[in-house]
Amino acid sequence: MSQDPPIQIVVFDVDGVMTDGRVTYTSDGQELKSFCIKDGVGIKRLHDSGVRTAIITGRISPMVERRAQELGISHVIQGREDKLSALNELLEAVDVSVDCVAYMGDDLPDLTAIKAAKIGACPSDASSAVMDQADWIASVAGGQGCVREFCDFLLNSALVASAPVASAPVDSAPVDSATP
């Protein structure tokens, strides 16, 4: 893990990373997802330090758009099982090299993106194939604060250009969400 150039964008999978991977359906067919609030603080701290964030997920869900908008995640790619192709399209759109990317995923569709990124990360309950290839593994499971733990790791390392102090204020104003 070279320290130069710094991480410019952190990309997250959703199901199994930002959530615990379970999908709940109501009796009228509505889909429910639960997100960890602590993860949101980590993402906003990345933004405060100048690091962009993005979501690439295999499923399509309005809850993902809503959560991304709440957190100021401006790049959301949904319905893509080929995460590496989606990642390459995103990087071309934002003009960032794969050497400046951190990627967090949990299962086989994420594996090629995890291997391609400068830092590939996963929650503690990721598939064994992903854990074998990850550069960094959270101590907690998906949906239980693994995103926050990864954000804190990046901010407290020399992997981002400028890490704020731990008590840095969090900007609560959402930024408009846009799909590349």
133-177 pLDDT tens trace: 999 999 999 999 999 999 999 999 988 876 444 444 333 333 333
Secondary structure (DSSP) of the chain: ---SSPB-EEEE-STTTTS-S--EE-TTS-EE----HHHHHHHHHHHHTT-EEEEE-SS--HHHHHHHHHHT--EEE-S-S-HHHHHHHHHHHHT--GGGEEEE--SGGGHHHHHHSSEEEE-TTS-HHHHHH-SEE-SS-TTTTHHHHHHHHHHTSSSBS-PPPTT----------B--
50-91 confidence digits (pLDDT tens): 999 999 999 999 999 999 999 999 999 999 999 999 999 999
Structural domains for the chain: 9-155 (3.40.50.1000)
Of 128, 138, 98, nearest in space to 11 by CA? 98
Using CB atoms within 10 Å of the CB of residue 86, give its burial: 0 to 12 exposed, 13 to 18 middle, 19+ buried.
buried
Distance in angstroms (rounded) separating the CA atoms of residues 95 and 106? 26
Distance in angstroms (rounded) separating the CA atoms of residues 151 and 39? 8
Task: Check residue 167 and give its pLDDT.
Answer: 40
Tokens coding 150: 């990864």
Give the dihedral of Cα atoms 31, 44, 99, 107; nearest 10 deg.
-30
Question: Mean of the pLDDT values across residues 2-19?
Answer: 89
Tokens coding 52: 């962009």
Query: Which of left, alpha, beta for 28 (phi over 0: left; psi -120 to 50: alpha)?
Result: alpha
pTM for this prediction = 0.87
Task: Check residue 53 and give its pLDDT.
Answer: 98
What confidence category does residue 3 fall into, taking pLDDT thresholds of 50, 70 and 90?
Answer: very low
Strand partners, 76: 55
99-118 confidence digits (pLDDT tens): 999 999 999 999 999 999 99
25-61 confidence digits (pLDDT tens): 999 999 889 999 999 999 999 999 999 999 999 999 9
- Look over the chain and give the mean of its residue pLDDT values, rounded to a whole number: 89
Task: Check residue 162 and give its pLDDT.
Answer: 61
